[in-house]
């Protein structure tokens, strides 16, 4: 589900924003999804100053790796290097999501490994979800974007202590689902840890085997389609 023209790119970003809002990932006007440009000029992403639920096609911009806005009337987010530098490093990544998940911030502050306590948790354990600890500030330079990309490595998501999370995927559905599932995994583990010592969680072999079934491409797409339907119902 990658765009082949500007109209498709804008539509995908609008859908991603609405899906993230429905999934509880909104933070007023902050946070942003992106998709790789079909002509290799940079990334299409949410414009700044708007909430996820407010985004329409006119509020989507095409941003170069240098930060120039090539298409769109809106201003870009200052943290565009999150998207451009991750995609520069990872040819397999077609979309990036950055949100200010409260659960991700709370969980990463504890500095404990992610455990496979749920289906969502199985996506981010064995190996443990990486953390970007160089700064809790804004990723507003290409150098910081490179450092974040290095911390992410080959993973599908990375915790950003004091800042939120970044999630990636081959396309918009997989990146949005990774962001929402990491938030869910953090919430489940925080709830369990608040109740007592976490004594039971999936083993490495069982978790890796489970992940193949639970998070197959068809399941990721089914989750994405549900979010899109739900967001459309909310706005109807």
Summarised one tens digit per residue, pLDDT across range 222-231 is: 999 999 999 9
Is residue 76 predicted with pLDDT exceeding 80?
Answer: yes
Total domains in the fold of the chain: 1
State the Cα–Cα distance between residues 84 and 170, nearest whole angstrom: 14
Q: Is residue 236 part of a domain?
A: no
Q: Is 62 helix (H, G, I), strand (E, B) or coil?
A: strand
Write down the mean pLDDT value for the chain.
Answer: 97
Q: Is residue 102 part of a domain?
A: yes
Q: Is residue 234 part of a domain?
A: no
Q: Is residue 1 part of a domain?
A: no
Q: Which CATH number is 56's domain given?
A: 3.40.225.10
Q: Is residue 233 part of a domain?
A: no
Is residue 215 predicted with pLDDT exceeding 80?
Answer: yes
Which pLDDT score, from 0 to 100, does residue 77 have? 98
Q: Is residue 231 part of a domain?
A: no
Which pLDDT score, from 0 to 100, does residue 212 have? 95
Is residue 236 predicted with pLDDT exceeding 80?
Answer: no
Q: Is 167 helix (H, G, I), strand (E, B) or coil?
A: strand
Q: Is residue 137 part of a domain?
A: yes
Nearest to 222 by CA among 157, 154, 176, 168: 176
For 145-203, the pLDDT digits (tens) are 999 999 999 999 999 999 999 999 999 999 999 999 999 999 999 999 999 999 999 99
Which pLDDT score, from 0 to 100, does residue 194 have? 97
Contact 176, 97 (CB under 8 A): yes
User: Domain span at residue 93?
Assistant: 6-222
Which pLDDT score, from 0 to 100, does residue 1 have? 79
Is residue 235 predicted with pLDDT exceeding 90?
Answer: no
Q: Is residue 227 part of a domain?
A: no
Is residue 219 predicted with pLDDT exceeding 80?
Answer: yes
Of all residues in the chain, what percent carry a pLDDT higher than 70?
100
């Amino acid at each position: 589900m990658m765009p082949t023209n500007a109209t498709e790119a804008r539509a995908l970003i609008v859908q991603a924003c609405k899906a993230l809002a429905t999934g509880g990932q909104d933070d007023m006007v902050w946070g942003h999804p992106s998709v790789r440009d079909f002509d290799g000029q940079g990334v299409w992403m949410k414009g700044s100053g708007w909430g996820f639920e407010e985004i329409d096609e006119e509020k989507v911009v095409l941003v170069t790796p240098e930060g120039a806005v090539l298409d769109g009337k809106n201003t870009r987010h200052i943290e565009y290097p999150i998207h451009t530098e991750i995609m520069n490093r990872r040819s397999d990544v077609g979309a990036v999501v950055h949100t200010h998940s409260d659960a991700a911030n709370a969980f990463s502050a504890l500095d404990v490994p992610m455990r496979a306590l749920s289906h969502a948790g199985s996506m981010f354990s064995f190996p443990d979800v990486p953390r970007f600890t160089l700064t809790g500030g804004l990723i507003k330079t290409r150098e910081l974007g490179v450092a974040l990309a290095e911390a992410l490595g080959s993973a599908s998501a990375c915790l950003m202590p004091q800042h939120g999370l970044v999630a990636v995927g081959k396309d918009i559905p997989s990146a949005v689902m990774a962001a929402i599932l990491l938030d869910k995994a953090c919430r489940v583990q925080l709830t369990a840890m608040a109740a007592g010592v976490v004594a039971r969680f999936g083993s490495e072999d069982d978790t890796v085997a489970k992940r193949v079934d639970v998070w197959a491409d068809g399941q990721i797409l089914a989750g994405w389609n549900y979010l899109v339907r739900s967001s459309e119902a909310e706005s109807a």
